[in-house]
Chains A and B, each alone.
Chain A
Amino acid sequence: MRKGAIILITVLLTSVTMRAQTLNYKMAAMYVYNFTQYIEWPKNDNSTEFVIGVYGNTPLSDELKKTVIGKHVGAKNIAVKTLTSLDDATNCSILFIAPSQSGNIKKISEQFKGKHILLICDKEGFSKKGASISVYLDEDDDYKTKFELNKEYIEYNGLLISKSLLTLAAKVN
């Protein structure tokens, strides 16, 4: 019995090969799309596309492409672009920062300040570090997908935010 318990506890603590629950990117893509229904971008540009840029390598890119098929923001078609450089992000309305790049979120936020871009991350707490919105998996609430937002960052970027989005957010910073 004692030997069995020791083996089990060892397995429990060292079973790193077992996959921990991660964000469901299908869900995350729907969240990103839905944010476009609650946030208003300035109407003074003449582009015909609403561009969602994804910076860095993440499965979200493909999921977003599937999600936005046939969807619009106002009269604009939605286009999803995978970016390898932030220089290509200037015409984006939403910029999703992949986990591989989210360490630079503060720098990226400074770079795009006031440029009418909604910066989105997928790590909890990052709306305090520069992201406008962060979609994350809440481990403490049975792995529900939630989002937090930073009202100040969003407004500072010249975007209008609906009151209902504030009430739906798990946290408003």
Chain B
Amino acid sequence: MKNLLHRAISVFIFLLIGSPLWLVAQQDSTHIPIDSASISNMTLEQLLKIQESGVSSEMESMINSRIGVASKKSLSQRKSPSVVTLITQDEIEKSGARDLIDVLRLVPGIDFAVDVQGNVSIGMRGNWAEEGKVLLLLDGQEMNELLYSSLQFGNHFDVSQIKRIEIIRGPGSAIYGGFAEYGVISIITKDGEDIKGLTATASYGQTARALGYRDLSLSIGDKIKDFSYSLSGFIGQANRSDNTYTDLSGNSYSMIGNANLDPTNLNLGIHYKGLSFRGIYDNYQTTTRDNYGPVTTQAYPNNFISEYAELKYDWKLSDKITLTPLLNYKNQKPWNFNGIVAPADSSYTIYDKTAQQYRGSLTMLYDVTKKINVVAGTEFYYNYATLGGMDTQFFSNGKNNFGYSNAAGYAQVLFRYHIASLMLGARYDDNSAYGSSFVPRLGIMRKINSWNFKLLYSNSFRAPGIENIDLSLNGTIKPEYTTVIELEIGKEIGSNMFCTVNFFDITTQNPIVYYVDTSKNTSGNYEGYDNFPKQGTRGAEFDYKIKDTWGYVDVNYSYYTTAGKTVVPAYQVPGNNDMTLGFAANKVNLSVSYNATPALSITPTVSWFGNRYGYVYGDTGAYVKKFSPTTLANIFIQYKIGRLRAGIGCYNIFNADYEFIQPYNGSHAPLPSISREYEIRLTYSLNFKK
């Protein structure tokens, strides 16, 4: 850690020292430093538009743009009481990202791995986070399914509809509760005012061997005085890969046509003054032959169907106080399969459970004074699961239904003073199934001219999901608790560069882990969830951005280590105390976007992964393989002609053999990702007449 700290600080200082050279080379032609001559003829309107330091540059606009994910109080990135990342619509469009994996992979600390049944999900700072450890919000709706709390990635969400993504790369439980232990990803899609007409996007990807994907996205929306609406639809088909999967026994199959990722998604948003409604239908149909590792003789459906409805009202009691009552309902059928299984594939079983959540909350935003802001809220939810007609695996209570309730209260106070801003917050949950949780949070933020500093101490927790509770060892499971300490230093260099470095230390107590134990039950293997003693990582992330009228550059580096931390046995790399299975300790991302003309942009993106480890098939049985460093390089060229935006690109240019590795010892071999893929995308927008 000491070496890491020294190395990271050295790199940071080097870049700071070197920055004047960059400044000369990349001087913003639109930046007007304040001198009497430059502003001497400005009107009051013009004066009000410019920043204290001069005309806002592209970069200043970005780092000063306000985000609400970190505290529910809208603050600039530099003042937000979390380590945050903002991804804009412009960056997504220019990168040609096929799906959320392409977008999020470029974020420091985020990586992807395979679980079971073809599902690829997320890791955060070297920690596997598929089940309830990272909260994914789509227009405020929790995308984590209720049974296992898991997330599914791969041609699932429509990236063409995204307006911005706000990410907390650290804990968010003190406000967001039990799914936000390691991070929060909040996707905000375009609303009526953004769309103001009709937009259609068609995307097509092709590899040398098979269809990569084909997606169609349609949206309509408008704003008429205080009323606005947006309705978007997304339908698609994709192959997870065109490569061959080989299980740990050496059996293999071609993934073409056997690992389908077919989304259907509808998203409706209606706003009238402070009242808003959100309805989402998400039907993500996938197929799998990899099952829990050993391949099946044929592909079986593995579907994730969700419906969401939410009604909320922003009630402005005064200039200082806003109350937001909210009612939310979600209905889900995750990991769903209720068909017929071939006799040879008896390990693939029917799973037909429905989970529902009824949630109500009341949030108060109170600006006590200009310097003191309070966010407080209370939340109640009831989770309820039932068996479908064909599912005969009763819950552990012997019934065909299972439910529990949760009541929570949270508060956060933000003091903004000259010397520093101080954030104090905490959340308390009382759950009828697993008891209570209390997670405090403390942050000190300071901005001094072009520098900003954040020192953050956060407790967070993971709420066990329905199946975690139901399949728990001895019928008891506790929430896992995480303590994260983060330090971030940021520096705005000139008007168009911004650099941050952060250090983190994560310790999770009582991590909830799925495992199989042959010694527990004489009549067969015991499978289930249990709390293990500890899990943790520490590391650093570095991010350097240049943004200007000519385009942008973003280079970031992520590092984690498990040295000095306790690691759950299932996550350990045998003989290596520095890493966990599946995730590279070193990762570098580079995005460069160049506006060759106002209409033409060229955007290469590169992700470099250091060594990784995972279980693979060998002649003498499964063994842990060291995967050599891999580079995934992509390019996308976009051209705008009137209402049409056309783009072509190539993903995985070097045709690298990149595989999603299972980040725990769970009998699943690495799942190959797709080979080199050529992509074409057309977007046509038709504006409503005013």
Contacts and interface: CB of A to CB of B under 8 A. Distances in A.
A140 B44 contact: no
Interface residues on B, range: 20 to 34
B449 A21 contact: yes
Interface string A10-23: 00110110111100
Contact of A9 (B39, B45, B76, B444): B444
B35 interface: yes
B448 A26 contact: no
Given A12-B453, A67-B36, A21 B52 contact: yes
A20 B420 CA distance: 11
Contacts of B48: 144-146, 168
Nearest to B367: A140
A145 B48 CA distance: 7
Nearest to B41: A30
Contacts of B448: 15, 18-20
Contact of A30 (B42, B45, B503): B42
Contact of A144 (B51, B416, B485): B51
B1 A38 contact: no
Interface in B52-105: 52-53, 64, 76
A15 B444 CA distance: 14
B44 A26 contact: no
B44 A34 contact: yes
Interface residues on A, range: 35 or more
A1 interface: yes
Interface string B131-152: 0000000000000000000000
Contact of A34 (B43, B53, B487): B43
A86 interface: no
A51 interface: no
B36 A143 contact: no
B367 to A, nearest CB: 10
Given A9-B444, A142-B64, A24 B34 contact: yes
Contact of A8 (B1, B47, B453): B453
A27 B39 contact: yes
Contacts of B485: 5
A37 interface: yes
A30 B39 contact: yes
B5 interface: yes
A41 interface: no
Nearest to A16: B419
A78 interface: no
A21 B34 CA distance: 15
Contact of A145 (B40, B43, B52, B64): B52
Interface in B16-49: 34-36, 39-40, 42-45, 47-48
Contacts of A4: 5
A147 B445 CA distance: 26
A58 to B, nearest CB: 17
B418 interface: yes
B449 A19 contact: yes
A152 interface: no
Contacts of B370: 124, 140
Interface string B515-530: 0000000000000000
A1 B1 contact: yes
B420 A31 contact: no
Contacts of A66: 36
Contacts of B503: 1
Contacts of A63: 36
Q: Which of B35, B44, B418, B419 has the most CB of A within 10 A?
A: B44
A36 to B, nearest CB: 11
B449 A26 contact: no
A140 B5 contact: no
A8 B34 contact: no
B505 interface: yes
A79 B446 CA distance: 41
B299 to A, nearest CB: 49
A137 interface: yes
A146 to B, nearest CB: 7
Contact of B455 (A1, A8, A140): A8
Interface string B490-511: 0000000000000101000000
Given A5-B487, A15-B448, A21-B449, 6 more contacts: A26-B39, A34-B42, A38-B44, A63-B36, A139-B416, A144-B52
8 contacts: A4-B5, A5-B485, A8-B487, A9-B455, A13-B446, A143-B52, A144-B48, A145-B47
Interface of B: 1-2, 5, 34-36, 39-40, 42-45, 47-48, 51-53, 64, 76, 370, 416, 418-420, 444, 446, 448-449, 453, 455, 485, 487, 503, 505
